[in-house]
Amino acid sequence: MAQRTLMRLGYLGPAGTFCEEAARAALDGGDAELVGLATVRDTILAVHDGSVDRAIVPIENSLEGPVGVTLDTLADDNDVAVVGELVLAVSQHLIAGSQLALDAIERVLSHPQAISQCARFLRERVPHAAIEPASSTAEAARLVVARDEPWAAIGTLRAAALYGATVLAESVEDEPGNATRFVFLARRAAAQIPAGGTPAKTSLAFWGSGDDSPGWLVRCLSEFAFRGVNLTKIESRPLRMRLGHYRFFVDCEGSACETSVAEAVEGLRKHCEQVRILGSYAAAGPPD
């Protein structure tokens, strides 16, 4: 009997990140080969080049808003589509290689998103410590354990357990109810559009062609409003050509196969140089 090949699921590594937690939550006991990757961009492009079958990446946080690198990379010309989403409750913890008084900490490492989510705690409780970005929360935990220095990291309880760290303070995020929305990615050929009538979202990016003229954005968004399509998110990111030009990202309720959504997308194309459907997928429930 031929051996079953496990799906390779990429995430921002190493083990112990919130991305890994989201991947494990999504699998819900199912089998997959989890593949930790160095950056969010690397994780997305691993789907494009086929080195993983699927991936999960963060796209927005309730405290810090959009994850820019995710939006920018998804909008690029690549063979990647959003095929699902998951919302995960997120709690950050201050950890170190050994027990350490807060006023003895000289440096705090973490991913920039985690640092921003804990800005008030860092400002008030460890104001003397240098803040240093790391590629992920788990990598920060690994580094502070490996170095015999009075350093601390912000990360997960799983990372503390995996790397033998000591938890100095729990739940150091600035606001309760912190949550991160993650999206699942696959090659476009593997994406399946949800049937109409089921709770779904469609994510799009659009830009160009008259974006500096009065009312351009209103005309773009009116294509959804006039058809009764509800937008659940809108973001902008620099187009990286010259100041004042942007890519816009919207999520709307409904599947791309529903008439109202499909017509809104076609109407949007009349106003833009580029309209890209990033994915159409089942909408997530409340945070896990």
- For 174-214, write each residue's pLDDT tens digit: 988 899 999 999 998 877 877 766 789 999 999 987 888 89
Count how many Cα atoms sit within 13 Å of the Cα of residue 130 in the half-sphere of its side chain.
8
* Domain 93-169, CATH: 3.40.190.10
26 vs 94, which has greater pLDDT? Answer: 94
Beta strands 107-110 and 130-133, pairing class: parallel
- Write the single-letter amino acid at 18: F
54-91 burial, b at 16+ Cβ within 10 Å, e below that, comes to: bbbbbbbbbbbebbebbbbbbbeebebbbbbbbbbebe
The class that CATH gives domain 200-282 is alpha beta
Per-residue pLDDT at 1: 45
> Do 118 and 92 form a contact (C-beta atoms < 8 A)?
yes
Residue 30 is predicted with a pLDDT of 75
| This prediction's pTM | 0.90
The share of the chain scoring above pLDDT 90, in percent, equals: 80
pLDDT band of residue 137 (cuts 50, 70, 90) is very high
Mean pLDDT value across residues 4-16: 89
Task: Give me the pLDDT at residue 68, please.
Answer: 93
- Which CATH number applies to 8-90+178-190? 3.40.190.10
Which own/partner pairs from 238-241 qualify as long-range (CB within 8 Å, at least 24 positions apart)? 239/207, 239/208
Domain 8-90+178-190 and domain 93-169, same fold? Reply is yes
Query: What's the rounded Cα separation, in Å, for the pair 79 and 46?
Result: 10
Dist. CA 47–CA 55, nearest whole Å = 7
Interval 104-114 mean pLDDT: 96
Helices (H), 35-136: 40-48, 68-75, 112-117, 119-125
Give the per-residue pLDDT at 3: 55
How high is the pLDDT of residue 288?
A: 57
Least confident of 28-32, 50-54, 79-83: 28-32
Closest to 252 measured CA to CA, from 231, 268, 274? 231
pLDDT class of 29 with cuts at 50, 70, 90: low
Mean pLDDT along residues 50-67: 94
pLDDT in tens, 228-260: 999 999 999 998 777 888 999 999 999 999 999
Domain ranges of the chain: 8-90+178-190, 93-169, 200-282
Mean pLDDT on 110-122: 95
Query: Rounded to whole angstroms, how far apart are CA atoms 132 and 97?
Result: 16
**Residues facing 108 on adjacent strands:** 131, 152
Q: Which residues contact 149 (CB under 8 A, 6 or more apart)?
A: 106, 107
Calpha distance 202→66 (Å, rounded): 17
- Given this model, what pLDDT does residue 287 score? 67
